């Protein structure tokens, strides 16, 4: 399966390169082969639960190897309030609107997971960003929603944000829609949420009129930290939800049970013709494949299983805790992180139903031999991932969530987390840790911070969707 050549179906939908009017790229292949190497990274960094008293910020990291400040934090955009817990963020528009004249990919939507505050940043100049607008939590609570998570731009000049709780931090969650023209709140995206209660991440494939969302838990459940009793009491998710994209109605739930406890990040192929995908089940430490049958019913199977491992400091076997997954733009490779074990894996998924492990890197965690880089302790382990558009470099940060960090890797709360990189050789199916690249967010201006999600100016593998 590859998106490198536009199919006849893609041509039928009008996705020719010369027809581009709006932001992004007409095809995944165009983004992969025609875009420049990433020279700047935007990285969420937070100070919630840190020893230092300060605001969260968006860090700007220099990724240009020809630059004198390569692999350094060259700028920060501080949030105006404390306690936001910036987590995931996204663009106002992407390749889903590449034929929409008048739109630009020039604003970042940066939610506060814990505060329910949403920040709008003018990012037209990546090295000189400014906060343009702040949507205060009280405005969001009016719609009985809280805890914003995944941000996706959608066709038609809208932004949709998954919301994990109601105004009180309990269930159910939902989806909030913003208008791109002035970032005002339209209200709920969903018209009928059916039996969906928990929410987390989502992906959509407009050609097939489908959106699929995942589950974490109610904010009041995961905010304090992880408690295994909450899992046994059914307070964490084990399902994904199928939605009618046009009618915004819940259609089906796929329940994984113990095979898919805490299904977090979801990725569908970048090829907009595909009706299948992967979800990483955090606690079960599995990769689950889902797909649509010819009759329109969705099915699933487990395709990768990470075994728990014994550790002398744990009174139970340690799960891998799959926390992030990413697909290359040509849909050939799947990468994911085992945050508690300490490895980041690369699978060949040319045969989507039969992933094949081709390489992995151990760095930090509870089991890696490598616990230092450049003489610096690896605090945490591979967690949030971002792949270069050409598929030749993968970057990661080592913080998950403030209260969970403090449980499992308390040194992050004291000294901050790291950003690291590996070179990827797609033709050979292997990776190599770049020991010359390290961004220590323990040295951030104003004190240590937890680095989390990564985005590229111009779009990336986890923000762009094609229609």
Cα–Cα distance, 5 to 57 (Å, whole number): 39
The secondary structure of residue 309, as a DSSP letter, is: B
Nearest to 24 by CA among 463, 458, 461: 458
Residue 149 in any domain: the answer is yes
Neighbours of 279 (CB within 10 A): 29
Nearest to 20 by CA among 7, 5, 33, 31: 31
Residue 463 in any domain: the answer is no
Q: What is the CA radius of gyration of the chain?
A: 20
Residue 360 in any domain: the answer is yes
Q: Which residues contact 424 (CB under 8 A, 6 or more apart)?
A: 333, 346, 387, 388, 391, 392, 393, 394, 430, 431
Cα–Cα distance, 408 to 390 (Å, whole number): 34
Is the preceding omega at residue 201 within 30 degrees of 0, hence cis?
Answer: no
**DSSP secondary structure of 374-439:** TTEE--S-S-SEEE-TTSSEEEEE----HHHHHHH-HHHHHH--EEEEEEEETTTTEEEE-TT--E
Residue 394 in any domain: the answer is yes
Residue 461 in any domain: the answer is no
The secondary structure of residue 363, as a DSSP letter, is: -
Let me know: does 216 contact 240? Beta carbons within 8 Å. Answer: no
Looking at residue 444, which CATH number applies to its domain? 2.130.10.10
Q: In tens digits, what is the pLDDT along the chain, a chain of 467 residues?
A: 444 443 433 444 444 444 557 789 999 999 999 999 999 999 999 999 998 989 999 999 999 999 999 999 999 999 999 999 999 999 999 999 887 877 889 999 999 999 999 999 999 999 999 999 999 999 999 999 999 999 999 988 899 999 999 999 999 999 999 999 999 999 999 999 999 999 999 999 999 999 999 999 999 999 999 999 999 999 999 999 999 999 999 999 999 999 999 999 999 999 999 999 999 999 999 999 999 999 999 999 999 999 999 999 999 999 999 999 999 999 999 999 999 999 999 999 999 999 999 999 999 999 999 999 999 999 999 999 999 999 999 999 999 999 999 999 999 999 999 999 999 999 999 999 999 999 999 999 999 999 999 999 999 999 999 99
Cα–Cα distance, 259 to 238 (Å, whole number): 8
Residue 467 in any domain: the answer is no
The secondary structure of residue 327, as a DSSP letter, is: E
Cα–Cα distance, 74 to 57 (Å, whole number): 13
The secondary structure of residue 443, as a DSSP letter, is: G
Would you say the C-alpha torsion 459, 465, 466, 467 has a positive or negative sign? Answer: negative
Let me know: does 264 contact 321? Beta carbons within 8 Å. Answer: no
- Percentages helix, strand, coil for the chain (3-state, rounded to 5) are 10, 35, 50
Residue 462 in any domain: the answer is no
Residue 1 in any domain: the answer is no
Cα–Cα distance, 417 to 50 (Å, whole number): 11
Let me know: does 267 contact 323? Beta carbons within 8 Å. Answer: no
Cα–Cα distance, 330 to 273 (Å, whole number): 13
- In the chain, the number of structural domains is 1
For residue 290, the enclosing domain spans 8-455
Residue holding tokens 């111009």? Answer: 458
């Amino acid at each position: 399966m590859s998106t490198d050549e536009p199919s006849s179906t893609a041509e039928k939908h009008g996705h020719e390169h010369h027809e581009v009017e709006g932001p992004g790229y007409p095809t995944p292949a165009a983004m992969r082969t025609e875009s420049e190497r990433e020279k700047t990274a935007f990285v969420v960094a937070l100070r919630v639960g840190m020893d230092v008293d300060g605001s969260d910020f968006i860090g700007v990291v220099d990724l240009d190897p020809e630059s004198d400040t390569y692999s350094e934090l060259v700028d920060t955009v501080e949030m105006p309030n404390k306690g936001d817990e910036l987590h995931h963020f996204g663009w106002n528009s992407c390749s889903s609107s590449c034929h929409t004249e008048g739109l630009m990919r020039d604003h970042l939507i940066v939610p506060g997971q814990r505060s329910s505050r949403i920040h709008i940043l003018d990012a037209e100049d990546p090295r000189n960003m400014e906060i343009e607008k702040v949507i205060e939590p009280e405005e969001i609570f009016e719609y009985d929603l809280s805890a914003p998570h995944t941000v996706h731009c959608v066709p038609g000049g809208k932004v949709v944000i998954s919301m994990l709780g109601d105004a009180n931090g309990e269930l159910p969650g939902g989806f909030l829609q913003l208008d791109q023209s002035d970032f005002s709140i339209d209200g709920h995206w969903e018209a009928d949420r059916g039996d969906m209660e928990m929410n987390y991440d989502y992906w959509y494939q407009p050609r097939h009129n489908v959106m699929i969302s995942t589950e974490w838990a109610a904010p009041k459940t995961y905010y304090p930290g992880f408690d295994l009793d909450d899992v046994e009491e059914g307070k964490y998710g084990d399902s994904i939800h199928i939605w009618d994209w046009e009618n915004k109605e819940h259609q089906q739930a796929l329940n994984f049970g113990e095979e898919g406890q805490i299904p977090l990040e979801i990725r569908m192929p970048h090829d907009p013709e595909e009706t299948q995908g992967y979800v990483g089940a955090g606690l079960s430490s599995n990769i689950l494949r889902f797909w649509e049958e010819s009759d329109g019913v969705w099915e699933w199977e487990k395709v990768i299983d990470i075994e728990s491992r014994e550790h002398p400091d744990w009174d139970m076997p340690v799960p891998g805790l799959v926390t992030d997954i990413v697909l290359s733009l040509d849909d050939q490779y799947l990468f994911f992180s085992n945050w508690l074990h300490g490895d980041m894996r690369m699978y060949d998924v040319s045969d989507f139903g039969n992933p094949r492990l081709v390489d992995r890197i151990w760095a930090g965690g509870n089991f890696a031999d490598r616990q230092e880089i450049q003489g610096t302790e690896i605090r945490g382990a591979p967690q949030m991932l971002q792949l270069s558009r050409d598929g030749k470099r993968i970057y990661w940060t080592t913080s998950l969530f403030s209260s969970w960090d403090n449980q499992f890797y308390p040194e992050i709360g004291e000294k901050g987390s790291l950003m690291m990189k590996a070179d990827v050789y797609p033709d050979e199916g292997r990776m190599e840790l770049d020991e010359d690249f390290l961004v220590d967010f323990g040295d951030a201006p104003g004190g240590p911070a937890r680095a989390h999600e990564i985005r590229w100016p111009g779009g990336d593998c986890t923000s762009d969707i094609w229609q």
